[in-house]
Each structure stands twice: as structure tokens, then as C-alpha cells.
Structure 1
């Protein structure tokens, strides 16, 4: 029986050791430049944009604030702070869209979010969550610019 447990333990150890092989495609320089951990992941801040408390009747002012919102999205993406942005389909939670910000703290996220005129005017409200995702996520934006036909 002792031999069985020793053999079983050795087999489990060998299987576990083999499961920890280093990735042959690993690019240390790229991983380091993106802030990746050993799993190729990092922390981001996920922002849920919700309908805000302000109900602005002035359509021209509202439109201007949302043009500023879209412009700010582009600016934050250009400086590498906004990784994902997009609207959500109509829902019962009053969720309007999401951002994934390339920052690690809520304080950093709030500082960036205050540059958005629709958020400052309280047309949009925010909920923040720490999110662990692929450190390579920012790289998709380079490809997005090649597939979009029209700028906002």
C-alpha cells in the first residue's frame, strides 16, 4: 500500500511539474512593456456607465456633452488609458456602456473619468470594479483602427 501511495504521489508531482512548462512563444520584452504578470495578465479598472441623475432638456447642450464624451474616449484611447469602450444594448439596469481603463486604482480611474463632460454633468454615472484580464488587451486597438471605416 505504501508503494501505491508513493507511486501515486510521484505521478501527481510529475503531472503537475509538466503542467508548469514555460510557454515557448513567451516574449519577455513585450510582456514587460505591457505590465504582464507570469500568466500574461494584469489589473485594469472596469467602468460601468449608467444613466446619470441629470435630465437635460436642452437637446443642443446634451448633444454637445455627448460629442465631448466621444471626443474624450478618443483622447483617452490615444494616450493608452482607455482600452475598451462601447455602448450596451437597452436594459432594465440603466446601464449605458462600459470602459476598461488601463489603471490599477479607483482614484486613478476617477481622475480620468472627470475629464469626460457627460460624466461631469452627471448625464452618466459610473460604477468601478477591479478586473483581471490579458495584459495584451491594449494591442487590439491598433487593429481596430484598421477595420473602422468612419470616425465618430
Structure 2
């Protein structure tokens, strides 16, 4: 009887300790550095990438343009202007990928989209919309660097 009771007490105490550790405390400096509002949120621009109208590009040209597309993604991420980017899996909607730009306006995002060779060549089409999300999203690139064994 003592052993099961001891295990139960240990489990309860562990759960209480875990609950106390997981209770986050507000970090005003971090919130300010991420431009978070009182809810810890901020404005971004969400970009849905779709197949573009250019269907005549050669395989060699397409390969070159997508290499530039990837370089541009890296550049914008390093500048802090792009916090998330990634392709969609095969789908029947012509959706190719997403960008989440760390800017507040569609105009700012249009300027960033204009730097992408695959979009300029109409291999991809960008659909932009304002988006409101956690300001912590900006921390994703830093975390990704820590978990990506192979770099692009």
C-alpha cells in the first residue's frame, strides 16, 4: 500500500511542479522588441502562392528562376521581412506555397514580392491579404536554424 501511495504522491507533485513551470510570465522587453500589441499579436501580410500564367518556360529557365526564388527567400528571411515560407504538397487548387511577410501593409508586401524571380516571370502568382497573428511568429526563423541539420 505504501508503494502505490508514494507513486501517487510523486505523480501529483510532479504535475503541480510542471504546471507552475509552464506558467509563462510576461516579458515586456521581448514584447516591445517584437512590436507586439497588448495581446502579444501584430500585423503581417499573408501571401498565397499559386501557379502563374507562364506555362512556356523551358525546364532550364524554370530551374534557374526557382533557384533565384530560393535565394530571394533566404535574403528576405535574413532581413527579417519573411518569417515563414514553404511549399504546399500536391493539390488540385494550383496552390504552390505561402509566405508570411513581417510587414503591416499590402504595399510593403508587393515591393517584396516584386523581388522574386519566379513571380516576376509569372511562374508563380502572389495573392496578398492582411493577417493578424502572434508576434512570436518572428522567432520561427531562429528556431528553424537550430533544428535544420541540412541547410538550403
TM-score range, shorter chain: 0.7 to 0.9
**Equivalents in 1 of 2:60, 2:140: separation in Å?**
34
Runs of 5+ unmatched residues, structure 2: 1-22
**Equivalents in 1 of 2:24, 2:108: separation in Å?**
35
How much does 1:151 deviate?
2.1
Partner residue, 1:130: 130
- CA offsets 1:16-54 (integer angstroms, 9 cap, x no match): xxxxxxx97111111111110000000100000000000
Runs of 5+ unmatched residues, structure 1: 1-22
How much does 1:127 deviate?
0.7
Q: Which runs of 4+ in 1 moved over 3 A?
A: none
TM superposition score normalised by structure 1? 0.82
Partner residue, 1:77: 77
Structure 2 SS opposite 1:136: helix
TM superposition score normalised by structure 2? 0.82
**Equivalents in 2 of 1:142, 1:56: separation in Å?**
38
- CA offsets 1:67-112 (integer angstroms, 9 cap, x no match): 0000100000000000000000111210000000000111000000
Which 10-residue stretch deviates more, 137-146 or 79-88? Answer: 137-146
Q: Is the 8 A contact 1:66 1:117 kept in 2?
A: yes
How many corresponding residue pairs?
130
